[in-house]
Each structure stands twice: as C-alpha cells, then as structure tokens.
C-alpha cells in the first residue's frame, strides 16, 4: 500500500479548528500530525460512525524517523450480522526488516472527563513482532468488534488506541523472542515416531521423509502450495538430507538443536526459501552474536 493509494481524507481534515488537541499531539498518529515513530503512543481515528455508511478502507496516518517514513496505519470496516461491525487494523512497513508493535489489548472504549470528544481503550499493551522481506509489505495488527447501536453515540467522536512501536532490531531479537519461538510449537515426538503420516518429502538423494500435511501447511506457505498442487502423496524437495532434517526439525519443534553450531547463513537460505519467518528471527539472533570482522562481508552478501 503506497501513499498514492491511501492519501489524506479531505473530509477529515477540512476544518482543523473543530478537531480536539488529541489529533495534533506529538504522540498521536493521525491524519494531521507527522508523528515520530519513537514517540508514537496512540492511533487516533476520526468520526468512525460516519464512515459506516460505506464500509471500506480508511487511512489513519503515518510515523517517521526524522523525515523518513517508517509505518503507515490504516483500517478496514466490515459489516456483520446482528448490527455488528469489525474494525481491522493494518500497517504498511515502508522498509524491510523487523519491527514490533504494542497495541491496546482491550476492546472496550471509555470517555475521559478531561477530553469529552475522545474515547480511549486500555493502556495495557499486547506485543507482536513483524518481519518485512521487502519495502511496503502490509501486516495485520488487530480487529475490534463494535455494535452499531452503541456506535450511534460516537458520532463526531475520536477513538484513541494506545500503541508503541519498536524498530531497534537489537532490542527485538533478544533471548525472550528466541524463547517464544522455541516454545511456540513442539511436535518433536510426532516427527520421531512417524505416526499417522500422510505425505512424503523426498530429498535430492532420494531419501524419503514421512511427514504430516497439516503441520507442514500451517508453518510454511511454500510447502502448503506444494502439497495442494501435488497429484500424489509425494513431493521432491531441492534439499540435501542434512538440510531436510533441519527444515523438518524447525517445523516440528520450533527450534534448531545446538543452533550455534549450525551454518546460520545456510539456515537463513532455508528460511527464505520456505518462508519461515520465525526461523529468520532465530537465525538473525544467532548471526548477530557470531558476526565479526572476519565474516562480516560474507554475512552482508
């Protein structure tokens, strides 16, 4: 999503004098404020009820580091049965790399006495890390559910959603992230026992690896498409036996045993080939620890 597609909503900013100070606050991501990424503390959405007439995609605003754009936030509105609406938040990452967003974990909005035009959700944040392989990738953040009858009282109100953004990769790729990756899923016993397998991956040496379609499809979109397009229960993978073992070890357990002793540049290629974002995070963390003057050029290439 580019700026030419999600330009400013003229109806929103046609009369800045009528808008509350929240829209212009340095910490607010809004249509009328050039917010610095490190200072962003809330997303400000204007007059949500009016926009229900046409459920569509609407911009919120962007964040910057100095004059360089980092993230652009937008949302979609969808009508549901029972007079309910879904507001889904997204962001467009203007560059490649890793970033993390803390977003309000609450779903209820309340009015503050000192700011009657604005409604706030919980200040408690829930964090999620994202990886963009290239510039201008879009990422889903969160969905809020609203009832139309309640939203009728929100006309000319502002929704303020607490948020915080972290773009420092050295802070994101820490031991806590690695631990989360490792414990996210572990089907190691299932892989070892080879019980109830329903598909076979074949390495370039013709060695067969019995696997489970569901587990592969959940963790790798590349393998999911391969399984869907296969006319049999077998597929040839362009990997040697060792790399195939590493691939399946990560898919089934969420980690790589003794990862510091593995060629992490090779692991990074496997992660990219099969679109394993968590393996990219894990590998980058190890490379960060191992990089030195002798291998810096090779790593950069």
pLDDT, tens digit, for every residue of 56-66? Answer: 788 999 999 99
Buried b (16+ CB within 10 A) or exposed e, 174-201: eeebbeebbeebeeeebbeeeeebebeb
Q: What is the pLDDT of residues 269-282, one digit of tens each?
A: 898 899 888 888 77
Q: pLDDT tens digits for 190-247?
A: 555 566 788 899 999 999 999 888 888 878 889 988 988 888 889 999 999 999 999 9
Tens digit of each residue's pLDDT (9 = 90 or more) over 87-131: 889 999 998 888 889 999 888 888 776 666 778 888 999 888 887
171 has a pLDDT exceeding 50: no
Residue 186 has pLDDT above 80, yes or no: no
Residues with Cβ within 8 Å of 195's Cβ and at least 6 positions away in sequence, in order, are: none
Distance (Å, whole) CA 145 – CA 12: 23
In this prediction, residue 76 carries a pLDDT of: 86
């Amino acid at each position: 999503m580019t700026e030419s597609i999600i330009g400013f909503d003229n109806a929103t900013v046609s009369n800045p004098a009528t808008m509350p100070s929240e829209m212009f606050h340095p910490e607010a991501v809004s249509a009328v404020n050039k917010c610095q990424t490190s200072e962003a503390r809330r997303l400000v959405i204007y007059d949500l009820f009016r926009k229900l007439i046409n459920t569509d995609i609407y911009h919120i605003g962007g964040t910057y580091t100095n004059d360089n754009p980092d993230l652009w936030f937008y949302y979609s509105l969808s009508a549901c049965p029972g007079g309910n609406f879904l507001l889904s938040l997204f962001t467009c990452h203007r560059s490649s790399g890793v970033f993390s967003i803390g977003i309000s974990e609450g779903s209820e909005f309340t009015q503050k006495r000192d700011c009657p035009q604005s409604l706030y959700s919980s200040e408690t944040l829930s964090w999620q890390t994202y990886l963009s392989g290239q510039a201008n990738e879009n990422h889903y953040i969160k969905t809020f559910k609203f009832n139309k009858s309640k939203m009728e009282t929100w006309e000319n109100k502002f929704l303020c959603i607490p948020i915080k953004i972290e773009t420092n990769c050295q802070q994101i790729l820490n031991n806590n992230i690695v631990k989360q990756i490792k414990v996210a899923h572990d089907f190691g016993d299932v892989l070892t026992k080879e019980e109830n397998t329903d598909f076979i991956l074949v390495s370039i040496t013709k060695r067969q690896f019995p696997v489970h379609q569901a587990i592969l499809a959940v963790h790798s979109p590349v393998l999911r498409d391969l399984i869907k397009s296969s006319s049999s229960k077998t597929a040839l993978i362009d990997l040697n036996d060792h790399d195939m073992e590493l691939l399946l070890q990560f898919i089934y357990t969420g980690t790589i045993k003794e990862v510091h002793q593995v060629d992490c540049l090779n692991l990074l290629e496997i992660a990219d080939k099969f679109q394993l974002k968590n393996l990219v995070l894990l590998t980058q963390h190890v490379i960060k620890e191992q990089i030195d003057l002798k291998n810096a050029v090779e790593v950069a290439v």
